[in-house]
Structure 1
Amino acid sequence: MKVLHVLDHSLPYLSAYSFRSLYLISQQRQMGIVPVVLTSPSHESNEETCELLQGVQHHRSKWSEFYYLPQPRFIPGLRHEAYIAALAKRTIQVAQECEADLIHAHSPALNGLAARRAAKHLKKPWIYELRYYEQDAAVDSGQTSYYSLRYNLARWFEERALKQADLAITTSTSMQKELLARGFSSRKLLEVPEGVDTRVFHPRPPDAELLERHQLEGKTVIGFIGSFFKYEGLERLVGVMNYLLRERRDIKLILAGAGEMESQLRARVPREWSDHFIFTGRIEQEDILRYYSVIDICVYPRLSTRMTELTTSIRPLEAMSMERAVIGSNVGGMAELIKHNKTGFVVETDDKVTLGATISHLINNSSERKEIGKRARAQVIKQRDWANIALRYADIYQRVLSTKSAKLLKGIEAPATEKERQSWQESQPSESRTKI
């Protein structure tokens, strides 16, 4: 079976989005599915090229010439239509080249609508995977406001993609419930949650080079790995760290990553305590495991926004899979991952006192940290391992292929004998036969 994945972006750009794609595609290859990737113009290559990444063809797209025109391109809808048209054309081209059996489009919604146009042209089934609401992400990044023209237009595109897809996938229970409450059919809406490759993210000894470089010996290390967006709540984590440093000096905070809040976070660090704060900058994929190995307590103090309430993050799962003690805020997406007092700790979003007390408790109880870490990994292996999650996609693909075939064959009288069925099957065009 060949599946064309239409993505916003992929590796080598590092993000939670690209890592979910990596896990999904890697597992599908091991299952015997042949994945092919097409990234949108947002990948920023701006060339219609093809490269081989980890054994998978990654086709790139370029922006439509429309994007280089002056002001008319900002008229609502025109820019979006140009994007859909250009990406649909590229999707048709790549799908024909690789002889894809189905098209699997991933957020944002314009990818889905481009895939829908291509699938209709090719008479192929297509799936839309909603990973996040683009309009809510735009609000959190300060690009728009709730229920503005831009917000409502993005929401309308999202609804079109979900309704027109042969099947739709969400990545969190919170998102699933929200869509069902809005009237979407449970028969068409399926959940494939966030997961992690537990064979890659497994317990390992602390990295000796990092211990020496950052002078971590004898310290309890608190850490965050990810992007520095405002909704991650890292200002609160830095504030709590400043409070703890009034009482003790045996702790350090590693903030591994980069983003829009970096300068504000650095500004909140008192000069006399600067050696207790480690800003690594953006780190390479292979260094993520090394940094997890030297962190004792991973903290994810997300703020409550519509996006964080409805979406989950893979970062806590990575930490849990490596037997790190995890603390997360009580937002919907985060609370889905952590069982309070069993596989980690969940604290109220605005409660800095409890966050500080929980961190302090774990600093003072190393044996409890280790026990929680072991339980966390056991939970991840059981419920969130990509080796198991990927099996859901195989079922979904077979379901949508069977449904599409039934629609195409409706009204055609089936051959009566096995010989007639075989002769009839061989007479069909090759692209109409599922390849497994």
Structure 2
Amino acid sequence: MRQQSARRAAPDGLFPEVSSTTTLGTGASAPSAEEILDSTDALLDSSVLPVSSPTPRDVLSPDTITIAPPKKIALLVEPTPFTYISGYANRFKELLKHCRRQKDTVEIVTPDDSTNPPKEAYGFRIHNTWSFRLPFYKSLALSTDFPDFKGLRVLKRLKPDLLHVSTPGFLAMTACLYARLLKIPLVMSYHTHLPVYAAKYLGWLPGIVWLSWLALRLFHNLADLTLVTSPQIKSELESHGIQKVDVWQKGIDTETFNPTKRSAAMRSRLSDGHPDDPLLVYIGRLGAEKNLHLLRDVLERVPEARLAFVGAGPCEDELREYFNGTKTVFTGFMTGEALSEAFASGDIFVMPSESETLGFVVLESMASGVPVIGARAGGIPNLIRHGETGFLVQSDDVQQYVDRVRELLSDDALRRRMGEAARREAEQWSWEASMAKLRNIQYPRAILNFRRRMRGGFARLRSRLRLIRIFAVASAVWALRWLTSPFALPAPPLTPAAAATSPSSSDQPTQRERRDVVAFWTV
């Protein structure tokens, strides 16, 4: 990959309230807004990142990025990242930490109907808007921001430099309306692969996948920048007509997820008191989209292995019944130190999900020094180096899973070598670099896209007004000429002698022709 320099200062006046910048590295003189956009196009074009074999050294580090001035940011996030546990929740929490260090002003609007939901996070206000739950997915609190309009009131009072919205969701649709109404730059970050979820939960509806892509295209093309979590998802969205897509660089907390967290007590718990048996671990949400039923077939073909499910979700009861009679443990929901120990205490992490836009649990397992066998789908191939840090298999091919599980369980040296390589890989992906790129390069790019769009809109309006003026003048001139022409008024009847010498009637416009001409110019 060609090396690109990011040592560019943020353009003066990009954020009107502050005109100076502070640099981490050796800053250059401030270019114009257009120059910074043009100079960072290659950096922001995620297609230059290797898709199948990501290399951390290709990613921007925080010491090569100029710090943009403090800004006002509105976050509309659905579901809440504060009481609903998911991979994307960590991403938004790290964003808030970074914004606090950069002295930004941030306010969050999110649906949260839990008991005593938080009112503040990392020093920033949280506004909990009215919410509802879907009958087929009751674990999520969703919102349209109606009827209390908290999001609208926050935006009108805060007057943010940009609006960052998580998608897909009902709140994102409302946010599009707010952004257009109040003329605010709009950033959307895509965290749930809607077509896959729709197929899993609403597959009985004809055309549901097509409708999902249509909805994504309609709403994401209203954004000034769409952020995704892997180059694979970026390519897929672009192939379906979604424009202005970029990759939100991944990150991992390598202190929390660490091989030193391996625990004999936790391994005994995960293996149901048989710590010497081979142990497969899955950590995450227990949902239909995760393709977890496949793992029963793996257990039946590798009878010496045990399986631990760590997490909760809408399909937990169904999975407990389905895996009844197998060597499987369901631990329920874990957090904190227990979760870190669970990641580090297995032999192999299995990830059969087809719906991951990134797959944070894969990164967390790699940081814990545990090799991963993951589906070759979604964003997972962006994380795993096949044969080096883990294995990639076809998501619906049980035999491939079985073969790779046996290969790792039969070779302790290979398993240890892959775990060490996975840890080294994870150490290169820092949250600081991810958030520095987002705040200081991608957010400004969204604002510049917004300004270009606004200028383009005014130019199109002026062009249309000019055409209307030309059309009006031409119509008036033509109408005047037509009204004063010989056929504009009814002619008196001709005498027989005059009729003999007059032009043929076919040379004169008929009444229908006159009506057609008038209709054409008055439409």
Q: TM-score range by the shorter chain?
A: 0.7 to 0.9
Question: Which of 365, 371, 395 matches 2:411?
Answer: 365
- The number of equivalent residue pairs is 374
Question: Which of 26, 47, 56 matches 2:97?
Answer: 26
C-alpha distance in structure 2 between counterparts of 1:193 and 1:147, whole Å: 33
Maintained 8 Å contact 1:125/1:401: yes
Pairwise CA distance, 1:210:
2.1
Pairwise CA distance, 1:325:
1.0
C-alpha distance in structure 2 between counterparts of 1:315 and 1:379, whole Å: 14
Pairwise CA distance, 1:34:
3.9
Measured at CA, do residues 160 and 183 of structure 1 come closer, stay the same or move farther in structure 2, by a change above 3 Å?
closer
> Higher mean Cα deviation, 176-185 or 336-345?
176-185
Measured at CA, do residues 215 and 30 of structure 1 come closer, stay the same or move farther in structure 2, by a change above 3 Å?
farther
Pairwise CA distance, 1:61:
0.3
Give the unaligned 5+ runs of structure 1: 68-79, 411-436
Pairwise CA distance, 1:323:
1.2
Equivalent residues in 2 for 1:272-287, closer than 5 Å:
276-287=327-338
Residue 393 of structure 1 is matched in structure 2 by: 438
Maintained 8 Å contact 1:92/1:122: no
Maintained 8 Å contact 2:376/2:394: yes
Measured at CA, do residues 268 and 162 of structure 1 come closer, stay the same or move farther in structure 2, by a change above 3 Å?
closer
Residue 255 of structure 1 is matched in structure 2 by: 309
Could you give the per-residue CA deviations for residues 378-423 of structure 1, whole angstroms, max 9, x where no partner exists? 22333x432222122111112233555678899xxxxxxxxxxxxx
Which structure dedicates a bigger proportion of its chain to helix?
1
Amino acid at match of 1:108: P
C-alpha distance in structure 1 between counterparts of 2:76 and 2:91, whole Å: 13
Maintained 8 Å contact 1:242/1:269: no
Pairwise CA distance, 1:314:
1.2
Pairwise CA distance, 1:173:
1.8
Measured at CA, do residues 28 and 207 of structure 1 come closer, stay the same or move farther in structure 2, by a change above 3 Å?
farther
Measured at CA, do residues 119 and 212 of structure 1 come closer, stay the same or move farther in structure 2, by a change above 3 Å?
same
Maintained 8 Å contact 1:109/1:158: no
Pairwise CA distance, 1:320:
0.7
Residue 217 of structure 1 is matched in structure 2 by: 275
Equivalent residues in 2 for 1:197-346, closer than 5 Å:
197-213=253-269, 214-245=272-303, 248=304, 251-269=305-323, 271=325, 276-303=327-354, 307=355, 311-346=357-392
Larger Rg: 2
C-alpha distance in structure 1 between counterparts of 2:278 and 2:396, whole Å: 24
Amino acid at match of 2:144: Y
SS in 2 for 1:234: coil
Pairwise CA distance, 1:93:
1.6
Amino acid at match of 2:173: L
Residue 236 of structure 2 is matched in structure 1 by: 178
Maintained 8 Å contact 1:46/1:62: no
SS in 1 for 2:260: coil
C-alpha distance in structure 2 between counterparts of 1:344 and 1:220, whole Å: 17
Question: Which of 115, 120, 124 matches 1:56?
Answer: 124
Residue 216 of structure 2 is matched in structure 1 by: 158
Equivalent residues in 2 for 1:343-422, closer than 5 Å:
343-382=389-428, 384-394=429-439, 395-402=441-448, 404=450
Amino acid at match of 1:17: Y
Measured at CA, do residues 34 and 201 of structure 1 come closer, stay the same or move farther in structure 2, by a change above 3 Å?
farther
In the alignment, structure 1 residue 127 sits paired with structure 2 residue 187? yes
Residue 88 of structure 2 is matched in structure 1 by: 17
SS in 2 for 1:378: helix
Maintained 8 Å contact 2:145/2:151: no
Pairwise CA distance, 1:6:
0.6
Give the unaligned 5+ runs of structure 2: 1-70, 134-141, 457-523
Measured at CA, do residues 220 and 28 of structure 1 come closer, stay the same or move farther in structure 2, by a change above 3 Å?
farther
C-alpha distance in structure 2 between counterparts of 1:46 and 1:92, whole Å: 24
Maintained 8 Å contact 1:23/1:197: no
Maintained 8 Å contact 1:7/1:105: yes
Maintained 8 Å contact 1:298/1:326: yes
Measured at CA, do residues 169 and 328 of structure 1 come closer, stay the same or move farther in structure 2, by a change above 3 Å?
same
Pairwise CA distance, 1:171:
2.2
C-alpha distance in structure 2 between counterparts of 1:353 and 1:409, whole Å: 56
C-alpha distance in structure 1 between counterparts of 2:261 and 2:169, whole Å: 42
Residue 6 of structure 1 is matched in structure 2 by: 76
Maintained 8 Å contact 2:130/2:146: no
Maintained 8 Å contact 2:78/2:171: yes
SS in 1 for 2:82: coil
Pairwise CA distance, 1:46:
10
Question: Which of 149, 174, 183 matches 1:114?
Answer: 174
SS in 2 for 1:164: coil
> Higher mean Cα deviation, 89-98 or 316-325?
89-98
> Higher mean Cα deviation, 394-403 or 354-363?
394-403
Measured at CA, do residues 409 and 143 of structure 1 come closer, stay the same or move farther in structure 2, by a change above 3 Å?
closer
Pairwise CA distance, 1:293:
2.2
Pairwise CA distance, 1:226:
0.8
User: Identity percentage over the alignment?
Assistant: 23
SS in 2 for 1:401: helix
C-alpha distance in structure 1 between counterparts of 2:241 and 2:214, whole Å: 14
Pairwise CA distance, 1:216:
4.7
Residue 246 of structure 2 is matched in structure 1 by: 190
Could you give the per-residue CA deviations for residues 64-112 of structure 1, whole angstroms, max 9, x where no partner exists? 9xx9xxxxxxxxxxxx9x936548x322222345553211011125433
In the alignment, structure 1 residue 100 sits paired with structure 2 residue 100? no
C-alpha distance in structure 1 between counterparts of 2:175 and 2:295, whole Å: 41
SS in 2 for 1:128: strand
Could you give the per-residue CA deviations for residues 246-271 of structure 1, whole angstroms, max 9, x where no partner exists? xx3xx432111123433443334464
Pairwise CA distance, 1:372:
0.9
Q: Normalization by structure 2: what TM-score? A: 0.64
